[in-house]
Structure 1
């Protein structure tokens, strides 16, 4: 029996977003995620570089997503990287961040679709002793709190990615992020050391962690995954 077509909408920031050719090999996790579902699922990636919950709403990026939702669809919501930094113009105070997540959930449910909250994927920041810093502690916990209070499925991408980084350690984990020596890629002639955004291989590992979370939650979407696609 053929599954009814559904759409998974991704909203978030640069860690999930599709990348322009000029940004490669930096890759958002949304790209490999879209390749790991079967043909009954369309993935619409609305995530954009530099967005927070506040600016995503202020720029009018959320309303077209809501208008497109149909019963049975999903909205995956992952913010925090830009919301949590007071020095950034995209900063969102804690109470406003919670209210924005609640709005995404409420308006998704009003359309008969299912919201899934994700904590932000960890930055690769190890201290001098080789211990991984908890870079998203406050805003990840805010996301977990909204999920608990409103009974929203939660993929704890922060915890899952921190576990992976601790397992790999400071050196091996560099391969997951956009680290390039000078002259290695024409987009980064001077090289780059970026411990927030992913390499192609890193994006695939992060997408797999999120899909593991989908399966753990036993969402209906889990029956439509094709983990053998690459």
Structure 2
């Protein structure tokens, strides 16, 4: 009996020691647009891929703080104070995932349009701010829209913006996940018809939030969001970033 009690006591002490030395979860801060953002109930089943990100990491290894917001560009994210609010929560060892481009290129929407040169400067500012706090910035090219040509080939539709991000990442040695090219490959593999399932495409009367139906080739369905989060995890796993060690086993 004494041995049993002593054994239990030792196990309890070991558990306490393990908990005391376990590393606290790091935070993944998400800065981006609607394709990444968490959605309000009235927008469902529209889904941002950032909503599925935490599920790809070991339990308790990371915490996701999703600050992405519909309709935001690098310029409006700064102007509205969203970037500073995110930055105020960043701690050494954290990661900041930065995905913009969709709205920066919208010349017909002056509230968000950002010329390419300013876009690149804003990204450089984001990177410098994050590094100043001892955290790691990651640049993510904007995800592909569902657009095909007459031959069924996926079209580029972000102009020079992704290349501006790629050039900055190469020059400043910033971690880059090329989600544009990866999601283009997903769409190409799925094809023109099957790829509809990845986006917010509903027939009239199919969902109460969209009684007239909707054919959206930018925003994801839950399936599309899941698939993009999987693609991010695959890209991270293939990288040399320490964050990859926190991913769940496949």
TM-score, with structure 2 as normaliser: 0.88
Pick which of 46-55 and 127-136 moved more.
127-136
Q: In the aligned structure 2, how far is the partner of 1:182 from the partner of 1:128? A: 26
Match of residue 64, structure 1, among 74, 85, 91: 85
Which residue does the alignment assign to 1:224? 246
Match of residue 106, structure 1, among 108, 114, 128: 128
Q: In the aligned structure 1, how far is the partner of 2:190 from the partner of 2:200? A: 16
1:3, distance to aligned residue in structure 2 (A): 3.3
Contact persistence 2:33–2:69 (CA under 8 A): yes
Unaligned runs of 5+ in 2: 1-17
Q: In the aligned structure 2, how far is the partner of 1:3 from the partner of 1:165? A: 39
Structure of greater Rg:
2
- Per-residue CA deviation, residues 142-184 of structure 1 (Å, 9 max, x unaligned), is 1101101110000000000001111111011111000011110
Q: In the aligned structure 1, how far is the partner of 2:206 from the partner of 2:36? A: 24
Aligned CA RMSD, in angstroms, stands at 1.2
Q: In the aligned structure 2, how far is the partner of 1:201 from the partner of 1:179? A: 12
Which residue does the alignment assign to 1:37? 57
Which residue does the alignment assign to 2:204? 182
- Per-residue CA deviation, residues 15-56 of structure 1 (Å, 9 max, x unaligned), is 000000000000000001122222121100000000000000
- 1:159 matches 2:181: yes
> Which structure 2 residues correspond to residues 105-144 of structure 1 after superposition, within 5 A?
105-144=127-166
Q: In the aligned structure 2, how far is the partner of 1:3 from the partner of 1:180? A: 44
Higher RCO (C-alpha under 8 Å, 6+ residues apart):
1
Unaligned runs of 5+ in 1: none
Q: In the aligned structure 1, how far is the partner of 2:134 from the partner of 2:78? A: 21
Structure 2 counterpart SS, 1:217:
coil
Contact persistence 2:237–2:247 (CA under 8 A): no
Which residue does the alignment assign to 2:43? 23
